[in-house]
């Protein structure tokens, strides 16, 4: 059967209430239901019938003692006329008419002709003794059975109202003002119907809910009933409503049929794929089909390794490929990865948490093996002078030679590694030997005066310059 969208249902009083924070389970999530028989023309009914539909309360939120208006439609869907009868309205707290329910009003219904109806607006006053919470206005047509009908089981319907302040019932739905545009249809015949109104009558926003429609032969919500439509009711603010257009079509045969609505709690469904988060194998990504190629409990739509079982979904390098199938686990994103990987462009990384260290990197003077060669070339201090050769020590075998050392005048040693031999460079031309010795003596005096060398060391430097052949012709 094609999509049997069923707003063939009459004015509904479907209601859901539950404590804040409590989620209904799949087994007990049916909140309430309403059913309406559809008379097929091929059945040739032999007697008239009453249907109660298009119920709506204005307002739907009241206090004890308040007045409201109840709208109702009394429908005769058969080709037989119906004599005048009465409609009774009761206040109930359990959707079932019983002797303890208080009757609020009685109204007469005129004679109804074939395929005829009467719309009623009934003024009601909520009793001052009414209990705060959710209540149901039950509408019963021909409760005294004054008219012999085709079916006596479809004369009762209800609409829900909230009595009392918002904290009386925090969460509550009412589905109302639904009616059938056609009641007598042949198999394979289609017909439209009017809108369904889902109203939040609670004191706080409602969660998402599921409005389902079933096709039934006995209207008893049995296991062999056929699901014909499902619509998501979005979260609603207090007093807000959502309107759905419904239609029904293509009855499968001429069996006596009816449609009924069932309102379910929808568990949290973050990705809006109609699979509750609690059982969704990808709750953050829509995947209504729930494909799971590797059977690891993670849906293919979000599985980091859809072809390799990986229930932990670890992704140490956060590259979107799970560790179970990642050919290059590269935590520091430098192109080199862990030893167990074979797909990294730069091979094995000697430190996958430092992006400056990878095969082919520039070797820095930082005491680390930056190029992953297995050594730290030049990063030694053989003479223990505190300066590595890569930091400019031009003679790592002599602790007196390193950047920052005292440049002694008159010799051919570059003590401070600055690339020169100072003011008294013995390798440059001098005018005469005396000029060179005077230069050395001048530099020594400055060093001694600064406390950088002792007088004895200064005397040795001057004596060495005097004994040299620098500047001699």
**Whole-structure pTM over 0.85, yes or no?**
no
Shared domain for 230 and 295, answered yes or no, is no
Q: What is the pLDDT of residue 128?
A: 96
Shared domain for 119 and 199, answered yes or no, is yes
Residue 53's nearest CA partner among 193, 237, 254 is 193
Answer whether residue 206 is part of any domain.
yes
Answer whether residue 211 is part of any domain.
yes
Could you tell me the pLDDT band of residue 217, with boundaries at 50, 70 and 90? low
Q: Which of 265, 285, 304 is the last residue of a domain?
A: 265
Are 83 and 145 spatial neighbours (Cβ–Cβ below 8 Å)?
Answer: no
Shared domain for 177 and 210, answered yes or no, is yes
Answer whether residue 374 is part of any domain.
no
- For residues 447 and 184, which has the higher predicted lDDT (pLDDT)? 447
Q: What is the pLDDT of residues 120-141, one digit of tens each?
A: 999 999 999 999 988 889 999 8
Of the segments 202-206, 211-215, 279-283, which one has the largest average pLDDT value? Answer: 279-283
What mean pLDDT is predicted for residues 130-157?
Answer: 82
Are 179 and 193 spatial neighbours (Cβ–Cβ below 8 Å)?
Answer: yes
Shared domain for 220 and 291, answered yes or no, is no
Query: Alpha-carbon distance 448 to 460, whole Å?
Result: 12
| % residues pLDDT > 70 (the chain) | 71
Q: What is the pLDDT of residue 261?
A: 61
Query: Alpha-carbon distance 250 to 147, whole Å?
Result: 31
Q: What is the pLDDT of residue 64?
A: 95
- Asked if the model's pLDDT at residue 112 lies above 80, the reply is yes
Shared domain for 114 and 166, answered yes or no, is yes
Shared domain for 277 and 421, answered yes or no, is no
Shared domain for 152 and 280, answered yes or no, is no
Answer whether residue 101 is part of any domain.
yes
- Asked if the model's pLDDT at residue 67 lies above 60, the reply is yes
Shared domain for 61 and 198, answered yes or no, is yes
Pull the structure tokens for residue 440.
């050395």
What mean pLDDT is predicted for residues 101-124?
Answer: 93
Q: What is the pLDDT of residue 339?
A: 66
DSSP string, 440-463: HHHHHHHHHHTTSS-HHHHHHHHH
| % residues pLDDT > 90 (the chain) | 15
Answer whether residue 350 is part of any domain.
no
Those residues with Cβ within 8 angstroms of residue 69's Cβ, 6 or more apart along the chain or in another chain: 57, 58, 121, 122, 123, 124
Are 85 and 71 spatial neighbours (Cβ–Cβ below 8 Å)?
Answer: no
Answer whether residue 359 is part of any domain.
no
Q: What is the pLDDT of residue 367?
A: 76
Shared domain for 256 and 284, answered yes or no, is no
Counted domains in the chain: 3
Answer whether residue 244 is part of any domain.
yes
Could you tell me the pLDDT band of residue 202, with boundaries at 50, 70 and 90? confident
Mean pLDDT is lowest, of 94-103, 180-189, 264-273, 450-459, for 180-189
Are 170 and 204 spatial neighbours (Cβ–Cβ below 8 Å)?
Answer: yes
Shared domain for 54 and 153, answered yes or no, is yes
- Asked if the model's pLDDT at residue 66 lies above 80, the reply is yes
Could you tell me the pLDDT band of residue 39, with boundaries at 50, 70 and 90? very low
Q: What torsion do the CA atoms of 298, 304, 308, 314 make, to the nearest 10 degrees?
A: -90
Can you name the residues that pair with 216 across neighbouring β-strands?
Answer: 258
Residue 163's nearest CA partner among 194, 126, 191 is 126
Residue 393 belongs to what domain range? 389-466
Shared domain for 161 and 191, answered yes or no, is yes
Mean pLDDT is lowest, of 59-63, 105-109, 154-158, 256-260, for 256-260
Shared domain for 40 and 176, answered yes or no, is yes
Q: What is the pLDDT of residues 382-408, one digit of tens each?
A: 788 888 877 778 888 889 889 888 899
Answer whether residue 331 is part of any domain.
no
What CATH number should be reported for the domain holding residue 186? Answer: 2.60.40.10
């Amino acid at each position: 059967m094609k999509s049997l969208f069923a707003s063939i249902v009459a004015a509904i009083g479907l209601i859901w209430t539950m404590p804040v924070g409590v989620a209904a389970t799949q087994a007990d999530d049916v909140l309430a239901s309403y059913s309406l028989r559809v008379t097929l023309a091929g059945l040739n009914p032999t007697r008239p019938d009453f249907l109660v539909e298009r119920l709506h309360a204005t307002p739907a939120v009241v206090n004890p003692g308040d007045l409201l208006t109840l709208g109702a439609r009394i429908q005769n869907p058969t080709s037989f006329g119906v004599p005048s009868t009465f409609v009774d309205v009761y206040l109930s707290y359990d959707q079932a008419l019983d002797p303890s329910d208080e009757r609020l009003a009685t109204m007469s219904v005129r004679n109804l002709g074939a395929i005829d109806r009467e719309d009623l607006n009934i003024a009601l006053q909520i009793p001052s003794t009414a209990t705060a919470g959710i209540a149901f206005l039950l509408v019963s047509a021909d409760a005294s059975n004054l008219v012999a009908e085709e079916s006596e089981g479809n004369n009762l319907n209800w609409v829900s109202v909230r009595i009392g302040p918002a904290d009386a019932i925090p969460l509550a739905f009412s589905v109302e003002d639904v009616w059938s545009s056609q009641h007598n249809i042949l198999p394979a015949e289609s017909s439209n119907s009017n809108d369904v109104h889902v109203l939040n009558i609670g004191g706080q926003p409602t969660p998402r809910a599921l409005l389902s429609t079933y096709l039934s032969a006995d209207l008893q919500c049995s296991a062999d009933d056929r699901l014909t439509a499902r619509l998501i009711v979005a979260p609603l603010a207090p007093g807000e409503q959502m309107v759905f257009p419904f239609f029904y079509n293509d009855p499968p045969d001429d069996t006596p049929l009816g449609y009924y609505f069932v309102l379910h709690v929808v568990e949290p469904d973050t990705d809006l794929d109609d699979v509750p988060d609690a059982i969704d194998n990808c709750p953050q990504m829509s995947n209504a089909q729930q494909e799971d190629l590797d059977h690891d409990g993670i849906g293919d739509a979000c599985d980091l390794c859809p072809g390799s079982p990986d229930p932990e979904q670890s992704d140490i390098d956060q590259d979107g490929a799970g560790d179970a199938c990642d050919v290059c686990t590269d935590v520091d994103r430098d192109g080199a990865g862990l030893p167990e990987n074979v797909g990294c462009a730069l091979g094995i990384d000697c430190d996958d948490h430092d992006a400056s260290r990878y095969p082919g990197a520039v070797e820095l003077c930082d005491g680390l093996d930056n190029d992953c060669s297995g050594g730290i070339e030049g990063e030694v201090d053989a003479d223990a002078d505190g300066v590595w050769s890569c930091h400019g020590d031009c003679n790592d075998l002599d602790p007196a030679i390193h950047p920052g050392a005292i440049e002694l005048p008159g010799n051919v040693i570059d003590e401070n590694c600055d690339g020169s031999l100072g003011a008294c460079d013995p390798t440059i031309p001098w005018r005469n030997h005396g000029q060179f010795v005077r230069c050395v003596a001048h530099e020594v005096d400055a060093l001694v005066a600064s406390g950088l060398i002792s007088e004895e060391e200064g005397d040795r430097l001057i004596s060495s310059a005097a004994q040299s052949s620098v500047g001699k012709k």
